[in-house]
A = this chain, B = another copy of it.
Amino acid sequence: MSDVFAVRRDRLRDRCSAAGNAAALVSRPANVRYLAGAAPPGAVLLLGPGEDTLLCPRTHAGENVEARLDDQLGLTVLSTVGDPVVAAAGVLIPSAATSLAVEEHHLTVAAHRAIGSVAPRLRLADLGCAVEQLRIVKDEGEIACLRIAAEIADQALGELLESILVGRTERHLALELERRLVDHGADGPAFPTTVATGPNSGRGGHHPSDRRVEEGDFLSVGLGADYRGYRCLIGRTFVIGTSPADWQIELYELVFSAQRAGREALVPSAGYRDVDRATRQPLEAAGHGERLAPRTGHGVGLEIDEDPQLAPAAMGKLDACVPVTVGPGVHLPGRGGVRIDDTLVVRPEADGGPELLTITTKELLAL
């Protein structure tokens, strides 16, 4: 397993040397985990020119973190009494390195200054989002984790649908979903589960409230599992009671058709903005343009929200083996709305087209 991480580090090292930097300091937790296989809280990864070193802030004296992680990770692990960023600069001083690339989009101004004081001769450069770029295309091991994460989310959601919903609060339903995720083997929820009922339904990122499910409500649910660090997302909207109102059926069919159009646009070399446009266009045509979120999908992986962004101004094209969400939503103030989110992996048409990871039905269920 540790070979995978060594290969990733070598790819980053190549990019760094090409940019004229002898060493790199990776501080963003998901990037550290991607390259080292683990990211204890506050840990940073120092890449070459000597041995790669994971520096972890010491939490408990007497616990031999170094030995425990060394064995697993196949790289040098140091536990540091002070700030690991400063310690990393200290490690570099005796080396021949004259320049260090740092993640300016993550490192704080104070930490940047601290490196400058410890190692004043080191030229500090910007690593930019080099690691985030490497992370976009997943290997089959990563996709296998996402597939399991999606199965877990489907199971948790399926069980909820079999239970009685009327009268229960958004908060309790959200908690029950999170418990079920863990029951089915998740390391935890991929993000705070959202449950939105009645007038709250269809709002992305709604924080579950004490509102209770009522007959006639739209109920929208967004959840995901974290499996070995990999995070998926599923969103569904249901109607409570036996007979949905006409406006509910109409709105549901509209959002469903937009979401399907987005899924069908997922082919290698499609532009990010083209996928967004495919999803967005049917909703705009129906007069909901003003109500739409700034984007209709995004990448998933070690973070629940990573590159690429599926948005009108996004630059770039999809590759095979890029997992993304497609999740349009329309919320009518005071009435509620519909969101439908899937996680899919882009695959060539020859391989059958996009691989749907979240397989819970998208028919309008009346519960």
Contacts and interface: CB of A to CB of B under 8 A. Distances in A.
Contacts of A165: none
Contact of A108 (B109, B175, B182, B292): B109
Interface of A: 58-63, 81, 102, 104-110, 112-113, 126, 171-172, 175-176, 178-179, 182-183, 203-205, 290-294, 331, 333
15 contacts: A59-B294, A60-B204, A60-B292, A60-B293, A60-B331, A61-B290, A61-B291, A81-B294, A104-B108, A107-B109, A108-B109, A109-B109, A171-B182, A172-B183, A175-B182
Nearest to A124: B109
Given A171-B182, A176-B179, 7 more contacts: A59-B293, A60-B293, A60-B331, A62-B331, A106-B108, A107-B109, A109-B112
A175 B171 contact: no
A291 B60 CA distance: 7
Nearest to A290: B62
A324 to B, nearest CB: 19
Centre residue among A58, A60, A292 by max chain B CB count within 10 A: A60
A59 to B, nearest CB: 7
Contacts of A60: 203-204, 291-294, 331
